Each structure stands twice: as C-alpha cells, then as structure tokens.
Amino acid sequence: MKVVFRTSDAPLPRLVARLVAQDALPSDLDAVVREGAAAARFAGKVGQVYEAFVAGETGLKRLALAGMGKADAGERSANLEKVGAALTAKYLTSGETSLAIDFSGSSLSGTEAASILFGARLRGWRHDVYRTKLSDEQKPSLTEIVAVNAPEGAAAAWEIESALAEGIEFTRELVAEPANIIYPESFVERAKARLEGTGVEIVVLGLKEMTELGMGALLGVAQGSVREPKLLAMRWKGADADKPTAFVGKGVTFDTGGISIKPAAGMEDMKWDMGGAGAVAGVMLALAKRKARADVIGVCGLVENMPDGNAQRPGDVVTSMSGQTVEVINTDAEGRLVLCDALTWVQKEYAPKTIVDLATLTGAMIISLGHEYGGMFANDDDLAAKLDAAGKTSGDKLWRFPLGPSYDKLIDSPIADMKNVGPRYGGSITAAQFLQRYVDKGVAWAHLDIAGMVWADKPGQTWDKGATGFGVRVLDRYVRDVLEA
C-alpha cells in the first residue's frame, strides 16, 4: 500500500476520511452527517469510524469520520496508529482503491500524522500468495492512501516510518511463509534479495564452515534434516562506533521437536519458530532503508529440527563452539542450542559491546504472559531499562524476568557442563540461564523470549490474523533512542 502527499486542490478519491477529536465534531460538517454521527453514537473515540455519503461535484462521495480520542491521552502514538489501522480495516476490501485522509483542522504534528499513516499501512498487510479462490469481495482493493493537507514535517517523518513498515512487512512475510518455502537456504536468499543495494554487508556460513568452527550445538539440531543449516550475518555500518551492537535471532524454520517429537495437533504453527531470526532480518532492512546512524550486526542461526534416522538423540552430548559441553535431555529444547553457537560466533568475530537475542524459545513464556508481552531477561539493568522503554514507546511491550544462581544450578549436568533443560517449573528462566553461560564477561546482554508474540490468532491493533512482525519495532526504537541519541 503506497502513501502519497498532496494538497486538497488536486482531485480527491471518492473516499475521504476526516479526523475527529473526541467529543469535537467539525463545525463545517453537513447537518445530515452531524445528526447521523450523533445517532450512531460516534463520539470521536480512538478507532471509531462513522461513514456517510455526501453529494460532491462529481457525484456521491464516501465520507468517513475517524475518531482520534483526546489529545492529552496517554499512548498518543499508539492511539493514532489505531486510527489509521481502523480506516484500513474498514475499507481494505470495500471496493475503493484510494483513500484520502484529510489532516486539516486536526492540530497534529508531522510525526503524529505519520503515526496514522503508519498504522494504516501496517493493517493493510496480508499474505494472500497461496489463496487462489478468493472472491472479488474478499480481495483487497485499497492500494493507495493520499495524505491531504498534511502538517509540516509529515513527509520527512513518513520517510522514516515507511522504512520501518517495510522491515515489519518483511518479517511478517518470512514468518508467514510455510516451511517448504522458507528453510535455511531460502531464508538466506530472500534476505539477500531484499537487502541488495542497501549497503548491508552479508556473510553466510554453511555446514562446512560451521563444522570447522566447532558449532556442535547448532549442528546437532540440524543433523536430522536434509536442509543444510546456515548462519546469516548482516552488518549495517551507518556510524563509527568503538564496538558494534549485535542482534541475534533464533531461526528454526520448522520445529517438529526432533526425536522428542511434538504432538501432531498444532504442529503446523511451528513454521514460525524462526520468528526471532525474522525480526532480526526485518530490523536490518529497516535500519538500512532509513540510513540509521548506528553500527549494528544482525545474526540468524538457521536450522530445521526434524526426526530423521540421523537425528540427535535425547542423552547425546554435544560440544558447542565455546568449548562447553551440553547433555541434550530434550531435543525439543533446540532453540538454545542454536543460539548459543550464534552468540559465541558473533562475540569472537565482532566483539560487540551489547547483544540482544530474540527467540520463540519456550511455551512456558506463553503460560506466563499470554500474548500481551514478550519476556525479557538481562544481565545489565541499564540495558533492561532501555529495552523496556523502547518496548513501551514502540508498542512491542516487554516484561522483565529474573536471573540468578539458584536457577542456574538447575541446568547442571552430572556428565557434561550443562543440560539443555531444567525441571518443569521456571522453564523460561532456566532457558535464559543456559544462554547466559555463553555471554562473555563485560558484554551487556538481553534475551527476549517472544514465543507468544510473533503470531496472532485474531486481528490486533495494527495487524490482521497471522504474522505480527513483533520484535522489529522494539529493536528499531532502541537504536533510535540509544545508538542514535
């Protein structure tokens, strides 16, 4: 969906939306529209939409009133995104091809106007690639949003937000694709294609290179699949820094659980077990597109976890790249085995000062937080505070969990340095404790367990049912607030 800016002097589409503050209908509204809005109990609340038809010079026009809520309400940016999203949700399949949003009289800043357009674009994303039998009424018709009388600075703000939207859409695309389409090799190729010409430097390791480096933990997960594992590194060097910042993503492109196989019901969802890697790829695209003033490395550990005759067995002991050994108690606790070698590699190759990893790591996180927050673990209070603030500002909300020695000893193994799982209770915490053992001294590190956030079974604030793109916004906001400050 494209967004164009122009004045109201140019011919407008048949569908026009006017923005209305709560309890403040515009004084120049036609009396019939005003009375109809009142009868429909339209009060300008956030996300409310009222539609009327009015006579124009070229025939009837559709007029939508979109509620913005109160100007002094909290979460202003998020509320404005809801305004744009509500308009798209209502008119995406309406038969209209173009929507004009009239910003006159709204008193919005350029940044606030861009928030409305941002929400409108995000809500319009759908993955219909394989849906060949859609009726005309089901197909999206809305392809363009025209910003009319946009406030000063809106175009410049939109240039940045549209880059972020592109990154989120790329993440959604990767997460939504089935596992026969997105697997380690094709993930890499799609990322290369999308990042081509952006200035992002790409490094790819295959089976041979990872074997030589001793990535026994990651390779142990991959050995049951015919798909070759990959390690994808993407560097955007938009500024000189003493040390870069690293984002590391779990990329299990399909997770059967391996020999510790999952129940059949719902296993199809495990195509999105690469949501962490998808978020990393998406944020790297966004940073490059908006020319972020930061030095960032994105690393994706990409494998498929399958129950082949050559698959890793429960009880196997593997040696990670760090030299630490792991007794694999449960082959379905594979994400941490992928991440630990990716963490070691990025530290040895780039010596980052800060690492944030993202992973759909544990079902226990969904039990803890449902689908409202991503879980956060950190060895540094300042980093945790900055990520928490970035989550609140961006809408990718995080909730911090504890780490500590009492949890750490729960994953000690009698025959190796550690087990890959602890007892039933505190499963998300012991998974984070496992990862912490691979973080070098002096490196600020945070682990984001986003298992409940990358996929939605029903439409949300700025997404339809399906892939949400969670993780891109919080990382982008962290870069803006911390690295570019």
Query: Tens of pLDDT along 4-52?
Result: 998 777 788 999 999 999 988 988 898 999 999 999 999 999 999 999 9
Whether residue 413 is predicted with pLDDT greater than 90 in this model: the reply is yes
Active site residue 348: no
Q: Kindly report the CATH number assigned to the domain that includes residue 263.
A: 3.40.630.10
d(CA 228, CA 221): 11
Q: Which of 151, 182, 207 is the last residue in one of the domains?
A: 151
Sign of CA dihedral 108, 111, 114, 119: negative
* pLDDT at residue 59 in the model: 79
Q: Using CA atoms, how far apart are residues 476 and 460, in angstroms rounded to an integer?
A: 20
pLDDT band with cut points at 50, 70 and 90 for residue 58: confident
% the chain with pLDDT above 90: 93
- DSSP-derived 3-state class of residue 242: coil
Same domain, 39 and 169: no
Are 295 and 431 found together in one domain? yes
Tell me the mean pLDDT in the region 87-91.
97
Q: Please report the pLDDT score of residue 372 as a whole number.
A: 96
Residue 480 known to be catalytic: no
**261 close to 447: Cβ distance less than 8 angstroms:** no
- CATH at residue 28: 3.40.220.10
Q: Is the pLDDT reported for residue 74 higher than 70?
A: no
Residues in CB range of 336: below 8 A, 6 or more apart: 359, 361, 420, 431, 434, 435
Question: Annotated binding residue at 334?
Answer: yes
Domain count along the chain: 2
Same domain, 50 and 173: no
Q: What is the average per-residue pLDDT within 457-480?
A: 96
**For 120-145, what is the mean pLDDT?**
96
The mean pLDDT value for 221-247 works out to: 97
Q: From 123, 151, 179, give the residue that closes a domain.
A: 151
Residue 359 inside a domain? The answer is yes
- 400: Cα separation from own chain's centroid: 18
What span, in angstroms and rounded, lies between the C-alpha atoms of 126 and 279? Answer: 17
Q: What is the mean pLDDT of the chain?
A: 96
| Domain contains 453 | yes
Choosing from 70, 262, 353, 437, the catalytic residue is 262
Is 302:187 a contact under the CB 8 Å cutoff? yes
Does residue 24 lie in a domain region? yes
Give the model's pLDDT for residue 76.
87
Give a yes or no: residue 138 inside a domain. Answer: yes
Residues 128, 233 share a domain: no
Token duo for residue 46: 């956030």
Q: Copy the structure tokens of residue 390.
A: 């970035």
Same domain, 309 and 453: yes
**pLDDT tens string 254-306:** 999 999 999 999 999 999 999 999 999 999 999 999 999 999 999 999 999 99
Confidence class for position 105, pLDDT limits 50, 70, 90 = confident
Angle at 238 between CA 237 and CA 244, to 5 degrees: 50
Which residues touch 132 (CB under 8 Å, ≥6 apart)?
Answer: none
Q: Do 483 and 296 meet the contact criterion of CB atoms below 8 Å apart?
A: yes
For residue 465, tell me if it sits in a domain: yes
pLDDT greater than 90 at residue 73: no
Select from 382, 378, 200, 389 the least CA-distant residue to 295: 200
Cα 88 to Cα 103: distance, rounded to the nearest angstrom = 16
Q: What is the mean pLDDT of residues 472-476?
A: 98
Residue that finishes a domain, picked among 91, 119, 151: 151
Query: 250 a known binding residue?
Result: yes
> pLDDT over 70 for what percent of the chain?
99
In a domain? residue 156: no
273 assigned to a ligand binding site: yes
132 and 236 belong to one structural domain: no
Q: Are residues 172 and 139 in the same domain?
A: no
168 and 98, same structural domain? Answer: no
130 and 98 part of one domain: yes
- Tally of CB atoms within 10 A around 460: 16
Which residue in 336, 386, 397, 419 is the catalytic one? Answer: 336
**211 and 96, same structural domain?**
no
Q: Give me the pLDDT at residue 167, please.
A: 98
**Pair (311, 444) in one structural domain:** yes
Phi first, then psi: give them for residue 107, nearest 5 degrees.
60, 25
Cβ-contact 97, 143 below 8 angstroms: yes
CA distances from 69 to 30, 72, 77, 116, 152 (A): 22, 9, 11, 13, 22
Instruction: Name the residue range of residue 59's domain.
Output: 2-151
Q: Say if CB 375 and CB 368 are below 8 A apart.
A: yes
> Is 61 annotated as a binding-site member?
no
Q: Is the dihedral of CA 210, 212, 213, 214 positive or negative?
A: positive
Q: Does 400 fall in a domain?
A: yes
> Taking the model in full, what pTM does it have?
0.97
User: Cβ contacts of residue 70 below 8 Å, gap of 6+?
Assistant: 21, 22
Edge-first strand listing for the sheet containing 398-400:
201-205, 230-237, 295-305, 245-255, 354-359, 444-449, 374-378, 398-400
Q: Can you tell me the distance from the alpha carbon of 454 to that of 252, in angstroms, rounded to the nearest whole number?
A: 14
Q: Is the CB of residue 407 less than 8 Å from the CB of residue 433? A: yes
Residue 157 forms part of a structural domain: no
Parallel, antiparallel or unpaired: strands 2-6 and 144-148 = parallel
Same domain flag for 448 and 405: yes
Contact 371, 453 (CB under 8 A): yes
